[in-house]
Structure formats: C-alpha cells, structure tokens
C-alpha cells in the first residue's frame, strides 16, 4: 500500500519522511525523481535548454534550478510548459520505483511529493497525509534554508495549492509547527494505524 505525503514548501516533508523511515518505512521522493529526469544527458534537459536558453544551464552542464525557478514562477505559461514536459516523465519513474518498493519488506511505502494533488500523483496512492504548518513558518523556514529572495518564496507559495485546499483533500494531517518530538509522536501514531490497516 502507498501513502502519499505532501505539504507546501518549507513544511518539512522530508523531515517527516525520515521519521517514517526510522520506523522502517520505505519512501520515494518525487523531488529526487524530478532532478533525475532533468539530469545531464536526459532528453528533458535538452528540451529545457532549447526553450529557455543557456542561462538555465550551469557551468557543469546541469540544470541551474535557481535560474529556471525565477523564469517559471514569473510566467505561468512557462511553468505550464515545463510541467507538461516533466510531469509525465516523473510519474513514469515514480510508478517504476513504487513497484520496486512494493516488492520489498516495508509494510507500506511513502510517495513524498510537493505536488501530489496538483500533478495527479494522488491517483497513485491509497491514502494521503498533509504535513501542515502556518504560511509564516513556511516562509521563514524556506528563507533560512534556500538562497532565494522573499519575493521568490512568496511567488512559489502563490503558485502552490492553498493550505486550506490541501488540508481539505487530506486523509490525515501532521501538524509540523511544533518541535521534533511532537512531530514524531504524530508519525508514530499514524504508522501504528497504517500497519494495522494494511495488515488486514
């Protein structure tokens, strides 16, 4: 069985996923897969270069994600083009990875994806968990973590599904606005419930 884990930028999805992993749960990160499909030598990277020019390519030939982010979050049409290119490729690789995870020993697996609902990846999972924090925490955490401007973070927040809409679609919610111990207690409770549910 597959659990979809999502949340807005700066919500702490990866931290929550690692807490599940500490309890023996396998996971695949859609962000990691997204990086793979635009790696040097991949057809998607060539298409991106052709569309946006050399400014979005780093000196080592890899994608300059910061430069591309600035372009696509200022122009919704460009973001739409990029999503049309990459989302099917990401989905294909996620499906293959999940099939491998399902054959393993983990009682269930996580699909960690910031765009779980927006990209249609929710159709791949049996249940959804939203990692939720107030918007001001998202902003401060992202500014602390990433070398981006506040305007850029706000553009990303505006482009993502609203906090309210994400919560409405969730089967379960983890409040990640407290300390690590509080988050881990919630993870432990959900893990116990999922193990009981999926062992039936």
Q: What is the distance between the alpha carbons of residues 53 and 45, in angstroms, rounded to a whole number?
A: 11
* Distance between CA atoms of residues 160 and 8, nearest Å: 7
Residue 184 known to bind ligand: no
Rounded to whole angstroms, the Cα distance separating 190 from 114 reads 20
Q: How many residues does the chain have?
A: 200
Mean pLDDT estimate for the chain: 91
Assigned domain for 68 exists: no
Does position 128 have pLDDT exceeding 70, yes or no? yes
Domain for residue 28, yes or no? yes
* Domain-embedded: residue 185: yes
> Given pLDDT bands bounded at 50, 70 and 90, which one contains residue 2?
very high
* Residue 123: Cβ within 10 Å count: 9
Query: How many other CB atoms are there within 10 angstroms of residue 70's CB atom?
Result: 18
Enumerate the H helices of 23-179 as residue ranges.
30-37, 43-52, 65-74, 76-102, 135-145, 150-159, 163-169
- Per-residue pLDDT of 132-180, as tens digits, reads 999 888 888 888 777 777 887 787 777 788 889 999 999 999 999 999 9
Residue 191 has pLDDT above 80, yes or no: yes
Q: And the tokens for 51?
A: 């569309």
Is 141 in contact with 177 (CB distance < 8 Å)? no
**Is residue 113 one of the residues assigned to a domain?**
yes
Residue 81 falls inside a structural domain: no
CATH number at residue 144: 3.40.50.300
- Picking from 67, 36, 35, the residue whose alpha carbon sits closest to that of residue 51 is 67
- Residue 84 belongs to some domain of the structure: no
131: in domain: yes
DSSP 12: -
Query: What average pLDDT score do residues 63-86 get?
Result: 90
**Is residue 15 part of an annotated ligand binding site?**
yes
Domain range for residue 166? 2-37+97-198
Which residue, 73, 111, 72, 77, is CA-closest to 93? 111
The answer to whether residue 150 sits within a structural domain is: yes
- Number of compact structural domains in the chain: 1
């Amino acid at each position: 069985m597959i659990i979809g884990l999502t949340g807005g930028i700066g919500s702490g999805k990866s931290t929550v996923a690692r807490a599940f992993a500490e309890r023996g749960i396998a996971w695949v990160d859609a962000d990691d897969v997204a990086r793979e499909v635009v790696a040097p030598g991949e057809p998607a990277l060539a298409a991106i270069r052709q569309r946006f020019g050399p400014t979005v390519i780093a000196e080592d030939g890899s994608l300059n994600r910061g430069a591309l982010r600035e372009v696509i979050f200022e122009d919704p049409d460009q973001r739409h083009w990029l999503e049309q290119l990459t989302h099917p490729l990401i989905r294909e690789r996620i499906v293959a990875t999940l099939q491998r995870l399902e054959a393993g020993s983990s009682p269930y697996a996580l699909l960690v994806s910031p765009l779980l609902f927006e990209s249609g990846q929710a159709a791949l999972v049996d249940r959804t968990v939203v990692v939720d924090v107030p918007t001001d925490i998202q902003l401060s955490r992202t500014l602390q973590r990433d070398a981006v401007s506040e305007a850029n973070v706000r553009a990303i927040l505006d482009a993502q599904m609203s906090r309210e809409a994400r919560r409405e679609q969730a089967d379960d919610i983890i409040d990640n606005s407290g300390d690590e111990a509080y988050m881990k207690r919630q993870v432990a409770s959900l893990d116990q419930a999922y193990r009981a549910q999926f062992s039936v």
